Amino acid sequence: MSSESNGSGVESSYVKIPQIKFTKLFINGEFVESLSGKTFETIDPRTGEVIAKISEGDKEDVDLAVKAARQAFDHGPWPRLPGFFNQIQIIKIITGHENAKSYLLFQKKKKKKERRKIMLKFADLIDENVEEIAALDTIDGGKLYSLGKALEIPGAAEHLRYCAGAADKIHGATLKMSRELQAYTLLEPIGVVGHIIPWNSPSYMFAMKVGPALAAGCTMLVKPAEQTPLSALYYAHLAKLAGLPDGVLNVVTGYGRTAGAAITSHMDIDKVSFTGSTEVGRLVMQAAALSNLKPVSLELGGKSPFIVFDDADVDKIASLALQGTFINKGEVCVAGSRVFVQEGIYDKFLIKLVENAKAWVVGDPFDPNVQQGPQVDKNQYERVLKFIEIGKKEGATLLTGGGKLSNRKGYYIEPTIFTDVSDDMTIAKDEIFGPVMSVLKFKTVEEVIKRANATKYGLAAGVMTNDMNIANKVSRSIRAGVIWINCYLDFDIDLPFGGYKMSGFGREMGLESLNMYLQVKSVATPIYDSPWL
């Protein structure tokens, strides 16, 4: 197949690269330039070349987006209709409807169904444009095109459908009181939400945050990572086509230190959802507390233990360990990069790891045979290489890899495995977010539990054994939000995801994810024949 170009130096010999259609901010249903007129460059990590210039949003642009979202929440059709009795009067005056109350209830039900209908249409449009979106994530973030097309983009659409199914099933409860009161709860949308999404999985993270917030009836502002803005802008376009009312979904591209900071400190944003590093998560919490004390949900860093016991199938689990660390070029928050191997199979396991790592294919992410593309940008590329050098200096043994790919330009790093790693080494403690694995030997169940928990993080863990007594003991002892037994990276829409400790709090995916965007209102009235009155 001949090479295709989009006019910006972006090309591939495997796939037709789409034209970049959307580069401006999306505010109140329209694509607009930033007020300052400033732009920033988004870079193709395969080559280091510029893809496009993107509007750079700042505080003033965030203010406009929040104003649009607030108007859509307070007065638009997307959330629950406000002002029940006033609307009855309006209906009586305008329509002369005899049964205004019944008419209003009918309209409410219709609008709830309409919310679901629009979200389902949004999901359908994603499916119809899956190849273009996958290509955008590949040129923008170095993600494998084949996985994006087959899994991540369809997964984003399915997540929207899952949440759409809950949009008209959000109910409170009738309460049995201890005194003569009649009481119930209402679940109401929290309001205007600020979503700050990371660069490692821009499409699925977009759906993971936007889906439940839309279903709950919230309006929102999304700030994609400055490294990967293209797919978020494309999703805004599809949301408009699906019929989402103006102001419900706004996208402001820009930098974390400016646009992101303006979101977290904004007095008219009611909730912030952030996925990113623990260091930035702290800043998000501080800004939220110092502004209007808005609630936050945080999905932060990880240094997940991947624990292999003597009875595990070495061939199968070595392959799984490799994928658990190197998938998505190691840019995965739950990467099982601390691989603990019991001493009885340690040497055999290392041999198999090296064999698999040397067969691991690094190259153009559009190539269907490639397993690992480039790091997302130059900064991350250099950061990972720095960690590799630190590992060498601190005395770990470099088993394989350890360098950059010399036969091509771009931000490619060899899959790297260290052994003779101690728990106090930097590469065993810090989140690297790259294709770097540390292999550590252990003897007993009690020892590995203690060592696995000796981290500030608590996002995920893997337990590989055929002994279910061991599996149960270890899974109940590890302080992490997700434990995979004899599998790894097996996410599901129904499986709540989130962290312990400095990996954050709050749960995404599953029906629990809607709770992050709902408030509970209790309503009580006296029963008038009560002896207490």
Write out the two tokens for 467.
């002994």
Give the residue from 195, 185, 244, 245 showing the smallest Cα distance to 223: 195
Indicate the angle between helix axes 100-128 and 84-95, nearest 10 degrees: 100
Which phi and psi angles does 34 have, rounded to 5°?
A: -65, 150
- Residue 30 falls in the annotated catalytic set: no
Which phi and psi angles does 156 have, rounded to 5°?
A: -65, -40
Write out the two tokens for 287.
């800004």
Give the residue from 238, 245, 185 showing the smallest Cα distance to 217: 245
Give the separation between CA 488 and CA 332, rounded to whole angstroms.
Answer: 12
375: left (phi over 0), alpha (psi -120 to 50) or beta: beta
Asked if 376 and 331 touch (Cβ cutoff 8 Å), the reply is yes
Give the N- to C-terminal CA distance of the chain in Å, as an integer. 84
| DSSP character at residue 497 | B
Side chain identity at 386, as an amino acid letter? K
Asked if 256 and 264 touch (Cβ cutoff 8 Å), the reply is no
Residue-by-residue DSSP string for 30-73: EEE--TT--EEEEEETTTTEEEEEEE---HHHHHHHHHHHHHHH
Quick count: other Cβ atoms within 10 Å of Cβ 526? 12
Give the separation between CA 517 and CA 160, rounded to whole angstroms.
Answer: 15
| DSSP character at residue 423 | T
Considering 11, 56, 226, 299, which one is annotated as catalytic? 299
Residue positions annotated with a catalytic role: 299
